[in-house]
Every structure is written in structure tokens, then in C-alpha cells.
Chains A and B, each alone.
Chain A
């Protein structure tokens, strides 16, 4: 993908990628924050982080279900 080169040289750290993906899941965020993040993000990082977050999301719902369904 030719996008990484265009978006700047600085690589985003894992924490920053997670923050981006979590705000994506919520759907709303400040433009300023997004522009800070977008500078260093690569699509590959975001996709991997997205899949991890969805897996954690599923496990969180399963855990909650266990909590309410099991007496």
C-alpha cells in the first residue's frame, strides 16, 4: 500500500494505534486527535489492532454473559 509513505515518516506506537481503533469503535473523536494519530499510522497496524480489539470485544461480551447468566 502506498499510503504509509504519504502519511509521514513517524511510526505510531501500539498504544496510539489502540487509541485510534477504540475511538473508531465508539465512532466519534476530535479532529485534532485524529490528525495527530493519522500522521504515523499504517493500514496494516490498524487492521491488526482492529482484529485484536474485536476479539477482546467478543471476549468481554462473553465474560459479561457468563456473569449474568451463571448463578
Chain B
């Protein structure tokens, strides 16, 4: 989001880097964490637009019952690609982009630990994005299984499915390399005098997320490889006809899939844990318990996976186990929400755009968390399985949890990246348009789900018309609001009020000690830390 700044700074700082290639080769060969962070963020925004356009196709079709615009097969492909692109192409790369930009500056490191691998982690992403989007145009179309790629459907699809599998492999490799890089950077490159328990919360959340990714991405890679061999090499892992079991895939997938939810959510928690203290002008309440809660959430996320599959056939004891474990994971998550609220308590708060998005996150993520608790109850989940209630639930968690905190992060750090303040009025417009249209789009989906409307179906019964039309109008409003976001970011890149090194009065941390825009190289000499410069 700060291409021009990075260009300018890169050229201005000729200090021993005049051999740097110019133009497009600069971006292809760069090993600079700021350049790579920038590319991650632009890539994720491009994917966000592609995935968003797919969502609007889905919502346009659902504006009325019956089939209007697309064939059911294509509808299924949109559902699948929207999920895969948003999860792996938009949200995850966005937070890796924030990590690339900010973690070295937060811990006083000159760059990421493995600068060349960092370049490779990024450049794996565009081929994967192209594979996923191009798969729409091959014979048979893209994968139409839903992002969960369940067999037997995923074994029967055409070449689009192979492209999706290959894309997932590549995205997984990129994530694993990115995580190894982030974990190594945090553990080894902290400035002298910054112990783990005093480092910024965003670094803590990414440290734990990194371990989660390293643990579960190979599991997903294994699962999709087994689908690939079932498809082409005569194995029967998931085919009952050959002695296999399709339910096995669901277990493996969700052993990846549940920690994946926290892979997306934890860095978002990290961002909010910076923004709320900065705008409440108070240090975060309960830093230690926040770190503990993140670690607990990460560990418990491995033992609750089958709550995604209560209805596939499971002994009552199994259902009870996963229900109890899932309900208990709400405790550390609740601790975090209490800590954020307590941070604001008696703070002298102001409501600039980053704070608005952080509060929007807090409010909506709590709703998503509560509907999650509703669904964790097996007896209720059996009723709501595969209805729009589930769709509403995970959009409150993913959009409000991850996307709103990503917006908070962009507005919070944009002055540091570009050297310019963004347009505060337009930023606030973006927030209000987003939060209102988001709720118009997704809140009615709770009602649709409770009334029994199934998800992933292009047609529906007449009694669901009203809420679907409301939802579609909200979705288009939400999609169009994001064009305003693009405009605000571009405007800040091109110019605006000059940003101070620390544009936010209450912000703390090393990243605010360097000038805005951040020079191409920062902390070539490790900073000297005093007690006061510890964590946010």
C-alpha cells in the first residue's frame, strides 16, 4: 500500500545499495522486508477484490429464488473459489504482509532472518493465485466442492480440482516458509534488552501463529495429496469402493482447519492489542494473561476439530467430548475480550479510524464468538449444520475478526509506511459504510439459517426471499465500500499531511522511533532498549 514511498525511499537511500535493480526487477529480486511486505499487501488486496467479486456473483444469484444469472455448477465454483481465495489469498497474505513490514521494526531487527527465502515465500503466491482463478476457464470449470474439498466430490471433479490442489500445495509451502522466517526472526533478532515477555503483542501473536502454521499446513498438504493420488494413481484413501473412508478426509482436513481459524484470528488479536492501547492512551491490561491466553487458545485449537463434523456419524461420547472441549476454548478467548475492554476502562479514548475498526472488530467478533458457542452445542448444531446460520457465524468471525482488524492495521500503520496521514474523514466514512453494510449483509443470514435455509445452494424456497434481498443489498454495499478504502490508501500514498515519526499520541514501541516514512533500511545498528521502551 506504499509502493511510491518505498520507491522514493529506495532511490533516495543510495547508501551502498546503488547496485539495486530498478523498475520491475527491483520487486522481483528484492530481499527487503518492507518491499516484500508491500507486495504481500497489494497481492492480498488484489485477491480480496477477486474473492469479493465472486461473493457478489453469489449474492446476485441469491437476490431472487430460482436461477437468474449463473448455472448451479458455476455457483458452486464461485462458492469454492471465494472461500479458498479469501482464506489463503487475501487474509493470510495480508497478515504476513503486516508481519514483514512491522515485526523487524518492532523488535529492532535490520530485516527478516532469511531475507532471500522471504522473497521466495512471496513469489510463490502469484502462481497459486493464477492457478486458482484460471481454473474457472478449464474444461469442467473450477473445483465446485466448497473450500473444504470434501471427497467423494473432490475425487470426481475435472482438471480444475487438480489446479486447486496444486495451488493449495504452493500456498502451503509459502506459508510454511513465511512462518519459519517469522519465528526465527522473533526468536533470534530481537534487540538486546528485549526479553520475550516484554516484546510487542503483535510479535507474540505471530510467534504462536507461526508455530501453528508449521504444525498444520503439512497436514493439509498431506490431505490434498491423498486426494490427488486417489484421483490419478489408483489409491483409495477416501473411496469406500476401494476400502477407504471419505470421513477420514474430514478428520484430516479439520485437524488443519480448526487451527487455521486461529491462524487467521491470532495476528488479528495482535493488531487490536496495539490499536486499542494506543487510542485509549493506556498500556494494555493484563499483558501476561494475554500472552497466556494466546498460547492456550493455540494448544486447545488442536483438540476440538470434530465440532465441524458432528453429523457425519460419531458416537455420543465423541460428540460430548468435542462439545465440552469447544465450549472450554471460549474461556481464554473471553479473557482476551475482557482485557481489551479493561484496557479502555477509564482511558482517555479518541476514535480515529484505526480505533473505530478495532472497536468494530471487538463488537462483531464477540457476536461471532457467541454464535460459535451456540453451534458448539451438538444438539443445536445438528439443527443448524449446513444452514446460513453457519455462514453468518463464520463471516462474523472472519470478516469482523480478520478483515476489520486488517483495516485497523492499515490505517494505524499507513502514516509509517507512506509518510502521509490518510484522509481521516474518508477513513471514518469507510468504517461506517463497512460496519453498517456488513451487518445488513450478514445479520439476516442468522435468521435464514434458523429458518432452515441451506448454504451452498443457488435456489431457495419463497419464504426466504425478504432476508436474502436485504442480505444481497448489504453485500453490494459492503463490496462497494471497499473501493473507498482503495481510494483512501492511494490518496495517502500520493500525498497528504506529513506524518510525524509518531503520529499517534498513545502509540508505543520501536517502530515509532524511526522517521515516517520508514527509511528503506532501519535498525542496521540494534537500538538500545530502556525499561520504558518495552512492550506496547
Binding site for B on A (CB under 8 A): 1-3, 6-7, 23-29, 31, 34, 38, 43, 50-51, 54, 57-58, 61-62, 64-66, 68-70
- Nearest CB in chain A to that of B190: its residue: A2
| A29-B196 contact in complex given A51-B299, A54-B303, C-beta closer than 8 Å | no
Flag if A3 contacts B196 (CB, 8 Å). Answer: yes
Binding site for A on B (CB under 8 A): 187-188, 195-197, 286, 288-289, 292-293, 295-296, 299-300, 302-303, 316-317, 320-321, 324-325, 328, 331-332, 334-335
Give CA–CA (A54, B325) in the complex, Å.
Answer: 11
Chain A residues with Cβ under 8 A from B332's Cβ?
Answer: 25, 27
| A25-B288 contact in complex given A58-B303, A62-B321, A69-B320, C-beta closer than 8 Å | no
Flag if B331 contacts A26 (CB, 8 Å). Answer: yes
Flag if B300 contacts A54 (CB, 8 Å). Answer: yes
Flag if B195 contacts A7 (CB, 8 Å). Answer: yes
| A2-B317 contact in complex given A28-B286, A38-B197, C-beta closer than 8 Å | no
Chain A residues with Cβ under 8 A from B321's Cβ?
Answer: 61-62, 65
- Distance (whole angstroms) from the CB of A58 to the closest CB of chain B: 6
Chain A residues with Cβ under 8 A from B292's Cβ?
Answer: 23-25, 27, 29
Flag if B317 contacts A65 (CB, 8 Å). Answer: yes
Flag if B325 contacts A58 (CB, 8 Å). Answer: yes
Chain B residues with Cβ under 8 A from A57's Cβ?
Answer: 300, 303
Flag if B320 contacts A43 (CB, 8 Å). Answer: no
Can you list 19 residue pairs at the A/B interface with Cβ under 8 Å? A6-B195, A7-B197, A24-B292, A27-B289, A27-B293, A27-B296, A27-B331, A27-B334, A27-B335, A29-B288, A31-B288, A34-B288, A54-B299, A54-B300, A57-B303, A61-B328, A62-B321, A64-B324, A69-B316
Flag if B299 contacts A65 (CB, 8 Å). Answer: no
B289: contacting residue among A2, A28, A43, CB under 8 A? A28
Give CA–CA (A38, B288) in the complex, Å.
Answer: 10
- Nearest CB in chain B to that of A7: its residue: B195
- Distance (whole angstroms) from the CB of B333 to the closest CB of chain A: 9
Give CA–CA (A2, B195) in the complex, Å.
Answer: 9
Flag if A29 contacts B289 (CB, 8 Å). Answer: yes
Flag if A28 contacts B325 (CB, 8 Å). Answer: no
Chain A residues with Cβ under 8 A from B299's Cβ?
Answer: 50-51, 54
| A66-B286 contact in complex given A50-B295, A58-B303, C-beta closer than 8 Å | no
Give CA–CA (A25, B294) in the complex, Å.
Answer: 10
- Nearest CB in chain A to that of B211: its residue: A47
Give CA–CA (A31, B284) in the complex, Å.
Answer: 13
Flag if B320 contacts A68 (CB, 8 Å). Answer: yes
Chain A residues with Cβ under 8 A from B328's Cβ?
Answer: 61
Chain A residues with Cβ under 8 A from B334's Cβ?
Answer: 27
